[in-house]
């Protein structure tokens, strides 16, 4: 009997890379680990589905993996986004994702009449998750990673896809590139970052029939919270079904305000197969990846930022993510906020906004931040770029941006 805790390619599901349909691979059973290239999409999907139907553990990667990396049967590896360093290989059981496949099928009323569009590379865990969920549940899946945004939108319209998995950056590009609205979409599932108000408004115009849900989580935890139309602006929602949250202070006691986010659920990872993080720690079945947040009286989680990104300016601890949210809300533009050394205050902040130089004026951005956050917490200088360098996950490449800022002096 084929293992119930392993991924499967349901007989009703069809899989496409762009316009090309993938043939089914012969079934079998092989326990040897397979390191698979994540591009081009057709070849990556062919290798992935062969690993699934032959019950082999696997990892999809944009770069060669070490020869000694390994993974046990009924498990697989995904890569972290690498926003704070080199990507790490996360080892998890296939059952940990299957548990959330079943949860999503119930919560979002997924049926075999649905079909899923996926915009990103399979090296990003959100894209890989979307494909595996569709195949496991018997839904058609359309992987559009190798196409420009305009063609992605046209393909969604042609296929009549009903569900879209994407990051905020991918949604922003899709909205810019689409020639017409996409009324076939009934559900947009967004992960990999905060959905800013401008992008949310663009998605509402692009997908007029779609409910939009934003997931907050990490490669190590999978889903933590789920936000919907009733979630307050700026919050990431309430705990995803089956998730238990704790917010703890530096002494490991329940936090009364901002605390470190600890998670216990059926969806957690088993450990790292490559790399490590001092921020990732376990305690009593709970895990943290070093994110800080607060809960309101309705149970909504508000993310303050990563502990390792916290910046001390004079005697204040500042989260750059908070400043980024203020700038994006004001301008409707993507941005990144970075610390710079400061002889007087220890550090100060600068911002990089994705826009032509001076649109909007840097002085307006700085003045708005000062009025909203105060002078110490506001960026001292604003730089502009036509686009932000991105990681494969769709998140800003903070290291590349920091190097670029150094070159602007």
- Token pair of 216 as six digits: 């907050």
The closest alpha carbon to 150, from 224, 215, 206, belongs to 206
Q: Which residues contact 45 (CB under 8 A, 6 or more apart)?
A: 15, 17, 22, 122, 131, 143
Asked if the structure places residue 8 within a domain, the reply is no
Same domain flag for 193 and 329: no
**Residue 266 neighbours by CB distance under 10 Å:** 15
Q: At what angle do helices 41-53 and 125-137 cross, to 10 degrees?
A: 50
Residue 180: inside a domain: yes
User: pLDDT tens, position by position, for the chain (409 residues)?
Assistant: 344 689 999 999 999 999 999 999 888 888 899 999 999 999 999 999 999 999 999 999 988 889 889 899 999 999 886 555 567 899 999 999 999 999 999 999 999 999 999 999 999 899 999 999 999 999 999 999 999 999 999 999 999 999 999 998 899 999 999 999 999 999 999 998 888 888 899 999 999 999 999 999 999 999 999 999 999 988 999 999 999 999 999 889 999 889 999 999 999 999 999 988 889 999 999 999 999 999 999 999 998 888 888 888 877 778 898 899 899 888 988 899 999 988 777 789 999 999 887 778 999 999 999 999 998 889 999 999 999 988 776 778 898 999 999 888 6
Instruction: Report d(CA 52, CA 135) in Å as an integer.
Output: 10
Residue indicated by tokens 């084929």: 2
CA 61 from centre of chain? 16
In a domain, 103, yes or no: yes
Instruction: Report the C-alpha gap between 78 and 120 in whole angstroms.
Output: 14
Give CA–CA dist 307/291, Å, rounded. 6
* 3-class state of residue 276 by DSSP: coil
Q: Is residue 200 part of a domain?
A: yes
CATH number of the domain where residue 341 is located: 3.30.300.30
**Domain total for the chain?**
2
pTM over 0.85: no
Contacts of 231 (CB under 8 A, 6+ apart): 214, 237, 238, 300
Task: Give the span between the Cα atoms of 361 and 267, in whole angstroms.
Answer: 45
Which residues, including other chains, have CB under 8 Å from residue 63's CB and lie 6 or more apart?
A: none
Does the residue 175 lie in any domain? yes
* C-beta separation of 89 from 79 below 8 A: yes
Residues 6+ apart with CB under 8 A from 20: 42
Q: Where are the alpha helices (DSSP H) in 16-167?
A: 41-53, 94-107, 125-137, 149-159
Pick the last residue of a domain from 277, 298, 333. 277
What beta strand segments (E) does 51-112 contain?
A: 58-61, 75-79, 89-93
218 and 125, same structural domain?
yes
In a domain, 304, yes or no: no
Indicate whether 184 and 326 sit together in one domain: no
C-alpha 382: how far from its chain's center?
Answer: 26
Separation between Cα atoms, residue 386 and residue 388, nearest integer Å: 7
Tell whether 270 and 326 lie within a shared domain.
Answer: no
Query: In the block, which residue shows the tokens 């070849």?
Result: 43
Q: Are 138 and 11 in contact (CB under 8 A)?
A: yes
Q: Which domain holds residue 347?
A: 310-406
CATH of the domain at 75: 3.40.50.12780
Residue 131 falls within a domain, yes or no? yes
Q: CA-CA-CA-CA torsion for 290, 165, 175, 381, nearest 10 degrees?
A: 10
């Amino acid at each position: 009997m084929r293992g119930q805790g392993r991924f499967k390619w349901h007989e009703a599901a069809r899989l496409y890379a762009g316009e090309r349909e993938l043939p089914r691979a012969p079934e079998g059973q092989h326990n040897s680990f397979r390191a698979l290239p994540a591009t081009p999409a057709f070849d990556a999907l062919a290798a992935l589905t062969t690993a699934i139907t032959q019950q082999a553990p696997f990892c999809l990667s944009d770069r060669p993996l070490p020869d000694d990396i390994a993974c046990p049967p009924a498990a697989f590896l995904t890569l972290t986004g690498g926003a704070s360093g080199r990507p790490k290989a996360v080892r998890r059981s296939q059952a940990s994702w299957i548990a959330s496949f079943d949860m999503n099928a119930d919560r979002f009323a997924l049926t075999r009449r649905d079909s899923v569009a996926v915009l990103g590379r399979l090296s990003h865990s959100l894209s890989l998750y979307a494909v595996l969920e569709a195949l496991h549940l018997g839904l058609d899946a359309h992987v559009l990673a190798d196409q420009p945004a305009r063609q992605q939108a046209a393909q969604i319209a042609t296929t009549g896809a009903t569900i879209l998995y994407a990051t905020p950056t991918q949604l922003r590009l899709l909205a810019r590139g689409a020639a017409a609205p996409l009324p076939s979409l009934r559900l947009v599932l967004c992960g990999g970052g905060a959905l800013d108000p401008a992008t949310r408004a663009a998605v509402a115009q692009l997908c007029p029939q779609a409910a939009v849900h934003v997931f907050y989580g990490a490669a190590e935890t999978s889903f933590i919270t789920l936000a919907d139309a009733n979630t307050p602006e700026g919050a990431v929602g309430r705990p995803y079904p089956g998730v238990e949250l704790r917010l703890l202070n530096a002494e490991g006691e329940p936090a009364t305000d901002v605390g470190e986010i600890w998670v216990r659920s059926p969806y957690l990872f088993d450990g790292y197969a490559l790399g490590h993080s001092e921020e990732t720690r376990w305690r009593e079945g709970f895990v943290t990846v070093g994110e800080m947040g607060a809960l309101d009286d309705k149970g909504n989680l508000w993310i303050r930022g990563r502990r390792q990104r916290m910046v001390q300016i004079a005697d204040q601890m500042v989260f750059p993510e908070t400043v980024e949210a203020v700038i994006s809300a004001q301008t409707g533009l993507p941005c990144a906020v970075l610390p710079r050394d400061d002889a007087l205050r220890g550090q100060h902040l600068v911002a990089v906004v994705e826009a032509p130089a001076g649109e909007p004026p840097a002085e307006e951005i700085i003045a708005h931040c000062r009025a909203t956050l105060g002078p110490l917490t506001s960026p001292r200088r604003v730089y502009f770029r036509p686009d932000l360098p991105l990681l494969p996950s769709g998140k800003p490449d903070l290291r590349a941006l920091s190097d670029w800022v150094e070159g602007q002096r």
